[in-house]
Amino acid sequence: MYKEIAKLIMYGNMKEDTILVKLGEIFRAFDEKTEDKAQLIRDIYTQLKRLLEVATDYGFDHNLWHNYLTYLLITNENPFSLTCEKVGANEGSVNIFAKNDFRVFRNLFFFDFKPIEEALGIQCFSILSDYQAIGKKELMYNKNVSEKVQALSEKLEQTKDENEFFDAVTDFYKAYGVGMFGLNKAFRLIDKGQGEPDFYPINNLDKVMLDDLVGYEIQKKKLTDNTEAFVQGRKANNVLLFGDSGTGKSTSIKAIVNQYYDQGLRMIEIYKHQFKDLSGVIARIKNRNYRFIIYMDDLSFEEFEIEYKFLKSVIEGGVETKPENILIYATSNRRHLIKENWNDRNDMEHTQDMHRSDTMEEKLSLVNRFGVTISYTKPTPKEFMDIVITLARKQGITMPDEELKKEANKWELSHGGISGRTAQQFVNYLAGMTE
């Protein structure tokens, strides 16, 4: 195994603690007899446990060894895979190196583990080749990644040589991309304490679709039109969704990501305290073959907070032009995002600020950086009841309409008033009582 791994060129950039690299070291120790059997078995089982953890996270099944090697192929970002992501496979000398690596991976696919299993008296690799995973709920693993990995793994199993292997992998790169951006819909930033935040995939993104949001047809149309222009490479605007809480602002953006994911749309959620990292985030994603929405939920600033000034320059007006594959979508309960006071509006009142109208303009100018602003208001009582009935029927609740309305009225009086969120919470309550 280690002899095959040593032949990798484009895909030889794996970290030293990668399972495949560690297994290669174990096999080298086995061939060179530098470790006793007990230690070799212990080392193998350590890597086996790690492989099973990966399989559990992504819901791998059947041939875990093939699934794992496929996962390595579609997550390895190198000059070849990144180029294929953008333009697909093209003629070029780099293909020679790539096919060399695919020959190696194909050999690893069909690697014979029997000699080491017989010598050490173990069967773990044989079990991995025909693994029966325990069924689990979707929230417990990344189903989106699982389906893609297993589908490609099955294709690679059927390849006859490195040329067919090459076609299968490059077709995947062109269709879905490579690395975490190719496999996941949404991400948040995490600080690893190394000075630069990293992207963390959101595995359990709500599967809501726009049709699930009852009402708000005008709002959904404006959001869809802008997003569709964006993913199709046409001009589009940053979007601010503002209005009453619980009206579906965040839900709309999640639904948009789900709707346009297969067209290359991805979402990165960022919080106010992370605005200092925005420039670094943009630098890392601006050359990828995806369309990114940088999502800011519940965006607002108190009078004393100055992060909005940095956000303004990032959105528009900085020295570097904002990449065409990035837009900012934000939600807020405030129309103007930044808390104002009456001093901002009273030019005649004596304050420490000699140019009070300039101060107000400074605060309002952030909103103006959003080319599309969409208002979400609380539903009317009738609209609220329509939402309740629609959600209830989707949930399979058969309570008569009149009784449903009566109970919904009681609920909203003690649960935050009329809103889409209140309606959903009420229906969830009913569903829980009837199950």
Pairing of strands 198-201, 186-190: antiparallel
Separation of alpha carbons 276 and 279, rounded Å: 7
Q: Which pair of structure tokens corresponds to residue 80?
A: 């070849």
3-state secondary structure of 329: strand
What's the full length of the chain, in residues?
A: 435
C-alpha angle 88/54/135, rounded to 5°? Answer: 105
Separation of alpha carbons 397 and 387, rounded Å: 13
- The CATH label, of 3.40.50.300, 3.50.50.60, 3.90.550.10, 3.40.50.1820, for the domain at 199-376 is 3.40.50.300
Check if the beta carbon of residue 296 is closer than 8 Å to that of residue 328: yes
Residue type, 193: G
Residue range 284-305: mean pLDDT, rounded: 81
Under the banding of pLDDT at 50, 70 and 90, the label for residue 348 is very low
Domains of the chain, by residue range, sit at: 2-181, 199-376, 381-434
State the distance between the two ends of the chain, measured CA to CA, in whole angstroms: 53
Buried b (16+ CB within 10 A) or exposed e, 224-261: bebbbebbeeeebebbbbbbbbbbbbbbbbbbbbbbbb
* pLDDT at residue 58 tops 50: yes
* pLDDT at residue 161 tops 80: yes
How confident is the model over 162-210, as pLDDT tens digits?
Answer: 999 999 999 999 888 888 888 888 999 887 666 677 888 887 778 888 8
pLDDT (0 to 100) of residue 355 = 43
Look at the alpha carbons of 272, 278, 284, 290 in this order and tell me if their dihedral is positive or negative: positive
Q: Which pair of structure tokens corresponds to residue 86?
A: 């953008």
DSSP category for residue 296? E
Q: Which pair of structure tokens corresponds to residue 215?
A: 């009402």
CA dist 338 → 31, 274, 316, 346, 367 (Å): 67, 18, 18, 17, 9
How confident is the model over 128-160, as pLDDT tens digits?
Answer: 888 877 665 655 556 778 888 999 999 999 999
DSSP category for residue 35? S
Distance of CA 186 to the CA centre of its chain: 2
CA dist 267 → 253, 256, 294 (Å): 9, 10, 6
pLDDT (0 to 100) of residue 190 = 85
Per DSSP, which regions of 169-238 are E strands? 186-190, 198-201
